[in-house]
Amino acid sequence: MVTLFADDYASLESTLSTRQSIHAYTRYAPVDVTLAVPGTAENLLAVDAKLPTVNLVTNPSMETGDPPTGFVAVGSTIAQSAAQFRSGANSLSIDPDNAAANEGAYWILPRVGGGGAANNQIYIVASVYLRRATGTGANSQIAIADSSGNVLATGNSVGLSETWTRSVVKYPIPIGTSDAFRVYVTTAAQHNITFFADDMQVELRQDGNDTDYADGAQGLWNEWVGAAHASMSIRKRGLRIIKGFSLRATLDTYLAFDHTADSVTGLFLPAGSTMSSSWPLDFKSNISMINVNSGEAPRVHGVVWGYQGA
């Protein structure tokens, strides 16, 4: 039975000791940025505002299996496709039978412990990104159903296009429920357009809100619970407070903290030199960079240390 809630932060990381709580650094981020457009300031690093979460889908970016492991066809032919993808290298291709609406595929959410009272409600929050290869037209969506396939909640209908668009649905688990659920990705109305699904996420949340997509391959502060692309994944809190840095520039550069860099707000970092902090700082927004000399595109690289915030 699934009992790990995505917004139960304490379950994602161990409680900090007093020593750890007052320590200057609990997060780090490597940085390596070459200015894209000389004369236009660019963030070297921005604090990470993504909420921590648990993605219960065990093959969320469709990297494992053909058809992708864990997905069951309903009124369609499904396959793994390398032709379209939002992250990773594959997506789920769905070719509807064009016999009725709600043709596609589903993934089974294992048996979930029951919901709570109004002040302790638990929601299933599911989301997926959808698109077609070329053109526009036809609609698809995500939905939550019971273990027999009876639809309980339907997400926003996505007009299929060449842009990945997210469909999101939430369902409050009734008090006393102890059941498995199905999460469907289907046509919203009958059509014969092959479409693609990627970056599917299923969360159990007390706030009922969806969060940014997460899986163990999304970089720092993300990890798989077990095997990559075959297990749940966790996103921990990212670096939210900048406390220190050590940065080197290839060309003369201005750096600014919690500002947009220019000759007034910036600190001058000469070419070939390193700038490091020697005392804990408290920046909560960004580190910005811009070239000093006209037409130059400096590269700034190094490491930023910080804290994950509350």
Each residue's pLDDT tens digit, 64-83: 999 999 999 999 999 999 99
Among 5-9, 54-58, 132-136, the range scoring the smallest mean pLDDT is 5-9
Mean predicted confidence (pLDDT) in 257-277: 97
**pLDDT score recorded for residue 177:** 75
CATH architecture of 11-51+238-307: Sandwich (2.60)
Mean predicted confidence (pLDDT) in 273-282: 91
CATH 2.60.120.260 maps onto the chain at: 53-235
Identify the band that residue 92 occupies on the pLDDT scale cut at 50, 70 and 90.
very high
Instruction: State pLDDT tens for residues 144-202.
Output: 999 999 999 999 999 999 999 999 999 999 887 778 999 999 999 999 999 999 999 99
pLDDT at 116 over 90: no
**pLDDT score recorded for residue 100:** 96
User: What's the CA gap between 30 and 64, in Å, rounded?
Assistant: 29
Give backbone dihedrals phi and psi of 208, rounded to 5 degrees, phi first: 75, 10
Written as six digits, the tokens of 108 are: 């089974």
H-run or E-run covering 21: helix 18-22
Burial of 297 (0-12, 13-18, 19+ CB in 10 A): middle
Nearest to 36 by CA among 24, 26, 28, 44: 44
Among 102-106, 112-116, 245-249, 297-301, the range scoring the smallest mean pLDDT is 112-116
Nearest to 73 by CA among 100, 96, 98: 96
pLDDT at 19 over 80: no
CATH 2.60.120.770 maps onto the chain at: 11-51+238-307
pTM of the predicted model as reported, rounded to 2 decimal places: 0.86
Instruction: State pLDDT tens for residues 211-252.
Output: 999 999 999 899 999 999 999 999 999 999 999 999 999 999
Helix, strand, or coil here: 18? helix
Task: List the CATH code of the domain at 53-235.
Answer: 2.60.120.260
